[in-house]
């Protein structure tokens, strides 16, 4: 079965609270590859690639985030971006 790929735009209080590092840790624990980065407008952007079950579990976590985060919305769309081999934190865009 081919892995699914999703592009996420996460808004709320998601910068300065360890959201990127926590998302990376949670993704690796679920065998999800991809990347995450801050955007200059205050949102967090991510590409996540994995099984439907793993992505559903990761999205459940992402809706809450780490302690101190407040997630107001996640814009979640399928993407055709090539899946990376691991999960990295990218520089702010």
Q: Cite the active site residues.
A: 20, 38
CA distance 48 to 25: 13
Pairing of strands 44-50, 33-38: antiparallel
DSSP-derived letter for residue 30 is T
- CA trace torsion 66, 13, 53, 75 (10° rounding): -170
Vertex 34 angle, CA 51 and 3, to 5°: 25
């Amino acid at each position: 079965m081919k892995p699914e790929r999703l592009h996420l735009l996460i808004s709320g209080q998601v910068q300065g609270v360890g959201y990127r590092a926590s998302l990376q840790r949670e993704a690796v624990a679920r065998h999800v590859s991809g990347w995450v980065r801050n955007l200059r407008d205050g949102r967090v952007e991510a590409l996540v690639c994995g099984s439907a079950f793993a992505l559903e579990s990761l999205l459940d976590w992402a809706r809450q985030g780490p302690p101190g985060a407040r997630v107001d919305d996640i814009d979640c769309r399928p993407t055709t971006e090539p899946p990376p081999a691991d999960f990295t934190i990218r520089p702010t865009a």
